[in-house]
Structure 1
């Protein structure tokens, strides 16, 4: 019967918009001078280390259990608890798989100590502002800066991807991210920049009402609870560290972001930890 796999696919498609979050920084704490413009192109690589570790851990446990079953000459069967662990681990990996993410950012200085920017990464628009909190250093060739930022991202969804399933027409998805980073940086002339950015990101996703209603219709037919929540919230806490090398107007940036995503929606019949 097609309804069960269709429900699972729709559930993955719907939840996928609610947990993965772009985390690039690609800027220092130094604000742009009024009228100054900065254009940045980047390519990010996302690796869900915690989720991958959970999947491997579940796989190892089941491999050992299967080995013991063979040695003891007894049937190998998954317990209900093991089935739920496997489902949760698989969902977490499906919702935040490894991948690459191109991005374009444009920033402009508005006032002394304040600049704004916008960025586009293919599926979201992000606008942010940054205000200088402190600036110092031994001279114009070496400076240290501290700044506070506030960013809002709006995701651009299309029902076309969901419509391929030919089950239900979807299109009413909404996701908004609010990001609060604290920028710290040191600049050494026009050649080298070192920066960091501890950050908190709150994500709120509202799933399509048709999808939520449709997901609740499968259990009487299939016996499998594929119900989905109407909203999904997630929280990211982490930090970026990076450096830039170049001269005057052109610099090459490299950065690494690490942290933890807290995402615990009630999906497929129970509350699941899809963070990592």
Structure 2
């Protein structure tokens, strides 16, 4: 009986591996409920989401793709005549790193440390995420040992920290931008969710509907170090690089998810919406740009509960 939880974990991880896709941003899909993992138990699962930021879409359209391909063909770029195109490529690179348009996947494991506290680790294929949740409202129990009746309300608050090395994707369009601008960036994200849920059955035996608010804060370091962009058509002087800059911004979000299943396995569709004023960013040649917009994150997940064998 002691080997049963580990056997279940291995089987679930094998199943989740088949839905993995590459991601390069901290996960912001909200699939948790207000009830934390019961003490001594595990939850494991995975999510597949799609990040849809309005500002990034507007800054990385077909015109920018054409500009990147055009400048990539030039051995020496004259900033005097191509400054508008170069500036647009910088903005596109920044917008993508701040909030990429892409599918994203993550795998996670959670453990109930105390009756009202659990901790977790999430791997988002480029980002490592550590978090904890504290349940301040609702009963404590399991489907086998209910602490409350069907329809009970739960509430919890958490904190999540993610770190990653941000980069542009390895596709021809962004390869051209990266080759021209030699863009580099790193980021860390701090996220605080406030979650409320209503149980389906006692202790979420058949699932729950959850909703809440999210605050996140991002810390970004970035820079440009171009080697083919010159200040004049005679190609006598390279444009000065942009040394590493620091920038941070806040995001404000709301979410809704539904967990449906029975005791050990659940499907979790969710939708999160964020607004962020990314702030003002320094560009080459003392230029700057301001970015802001909405981000929509629909997702679908699988969650598995690993109960303990205690009586």
Which bracket does the TM-score occupy, shorter chain normalised?
0.5 to 0.7
The counterpart of 1:135, out of the listed 135, 138, 151, is 138
Could you state the TM-score of these two structures normalised by the residue count of structure 1? 0.68
Aligned to 1:41: 46
Q: Which residues in structure 2 correspond to 1:253-272 (within 5 Å)? A: 253-264=268-279, 265-268=281-284, 269-272=286-289
More helix by share: 1
The counterpart of 2:191, out of the listed 168, 179, 199, is 179
Could you state the TM-score of these two structures normalised by the residue count of structure 2? 0.61
Q: Offset at 1:142?
A: 2.1
Q: Which residues in structure 2 correspond to 1:57-96 (within 5 Å)? A: 90-91=92-93, 94-95=96-97, 96=99
Structure 2, unpaired ranges of 5+ = 1-23, 65-81, 141-146, 294-311
The counterpart of 2:106, out of the listed 94, 103, 108, is 103
The one of the two structures with greater contact order (alpha-carbon pairs below 8 A, sep at least 6) is 2
Alignment: residue pair count: 231
Q: Offset at 1:199?
A: 0.8
In the aligned structure 2, how far is the partner of 1:131 from the partner of 1:167? Answer: 47
For residues 17-48 of structure 1, the C-alpha deviation after alignment (integer angstroms, 9 at most, x for no partner) is: 8xx65311221110111111000111111111
The answer as to 2:254 corresponding to 1:239 is: yes
Q: Offset at 1:267?
A: 2.3
In the aligned structure 1, how far is the partner of 2:166 from the partner of 2:60? Answer: 29
In the aligned structure 2, how far is the partner of 1:168 from the partner of 1:262? Answer: 24
Structure 1, unpaired ranges of 5+ = 1-16, 60-79
Worse-matched range after superposition: 39-48 or 20-29: 20-29
For residues 43-94 of structure 1, the C-alpha deviation after alignment (integer angstroms, 9 at most, x for no partner) is: 11111134436778x99xxxxxxxxxxxxxxxxxxxx9x9799668745654
The answer as to 2:133 corresponding to 1:116 is: no
In the aligned structure 1, how far is the partner of 2:108 from the partner of 2:126? Answer: 14
